[in-house]
Amino acid sequence: MTEVQYISIGGRSDYLVGLKDLVRGLSKVNLWWAFAVDEVQQRYRRSKLGLAWIVVSYVIFVAAISIFFGGFSVKGVSDFTAHVAVNYAFFAFLIATVTDGCAVFRSNKTWVGSMPLPHSIYVLKSVARALFVLGINMAVGIFVLLATGHLRTSVSWLAVPAFFVVLFNSLLIQTYLGYLTARFRDVEHLMVSLTRVLFFMTPILWVRAEQPVGSLRRTLADLNPFTHAMEIFSAPMLGHMPDPSSWQVMGILTGVNILLMMGASYLAHRRLPYWL
């Protein structure tokens, strides 16, 4: 079956077009990985430090936040530094999922309109680019964990399944946000505004466990999906068992995101080139 036949196929199988497209995109790993690496290299190509700027900027951020906000936490500066080093790296990846997802098809409109490639190629490229930055930032985070004695292998392995759950959700979210924004451009501006607020609603500059149950800050954090995505990943990295309720929330969110991705793909897959 050719690419064009696949896009134009009708009938009941169209309800699975999003999942089929994702599977076909995953099989072309050499293509989307090469695209992602090239985009990262292009961003730092004429810089003297190159990719080292990612490390430098992250170290400066973690150090500054720890110095200025560490004194407000009952954890102490050492524990707070580890908290920031892990959580902000993962938060930046989550933010990239939303903001990059809004532009994932629009920024590749020439390719979408001229090449019969699976749409998931562009999503996978975008997520891979964000993963590259996350990997570099987490290297700094792991160094901080080792230096502060927080990395405990007895529970740290729990971060692995959490990572793959969040990664899968990132693919789903970027897909349906990409379709939605291609049709309604205002969605991108809305998401940018929301992500600015999420930075303060997510426990990065403050610690969720230190907030009284029922307080406004704790309630907003509990209602924030980013909080639960970070909890299942960062808690094991920091040597703690993740909150079981966060796993429950992520399970529900995964189911919802699958349905949203399938619905958006069913409605928008064939129309995407015309919307761009």
The sign one gets for the Cα dihedral 88, 89, 94, 100 is positive
Neighbours of 83 (CB within 10 A): 27
Looking at residue 9, its pLDDT comes to 38
> In 3-state terms, what secondary structure has residue 52?
helix
Looking at residue 149, its pLDDT comes to 79
Looking at residue 135, its pLDDT comes to 93
Query: What mean pLDDT is predicted for residues 97-109?
Result: 91
Looking at residue 215, the DSSP 8-state letter turns out to be S
Averaged pLDDT score across all residues of the chain: 87
The answer, yes or no, to whether residue 58 has pLDDT greater than 80, is yes
Query: What mean pLDDT is predicted for residues 24-49?
Result: 85
The contacts of residue 66 (CB under 8 Å, 6+ apart) are 77, 80, 81, 84
The answer, yes or no, to whether residue 2 has pLDDT greater than 60, is no
Looking at residue 48, its pLDDT comes to 67
- Output the CA–CA distances (angstroms, integers) from residue 217 to 116, 207, 212, 238, in the order listed: 47, 10, 9, 22
Lowest pLDDT segment from 56-70, 160-174, 227-241 = 56-70
Token pair, residue 168, equals 């899968």
The answer, yes or no, to whether residue 19 has pLDDT greater than 50, is yes
Task: Read off the pTM.
Answer: 0.88
Q: Is the model more confident about 6 or about 37?
A: 37
> In 3-state terms, what secondary structure has residue 271?
coil
The sign one gets for the Cα dihedral 82, 86, 92, 95 is negative
Confidence tier at 3 by pLDDT (50, 70, 90):
very low
The sign one gets for the Cα dihedral 129, 169, 134, 95 is positive
pLDDT digits (tens, 9 = 90+) for 145-204: 888 877 777 888 999 999 999 999 999 999 999 999 999 999 999 999 999 999 899 999
Within 184-224, residue ranges assigned H as helices are 186-201, 216-223
Q: Is the model more confident about 18 or about 166?
A: 166
The answer, yes or no, to whether residue 51 has pLDDT greater than 80, is no
Token pair, residue 261, equals 């991705």
Token pair, residue 53, equals 């700027």
Looking at residue 161, its pLDDT comes to 96
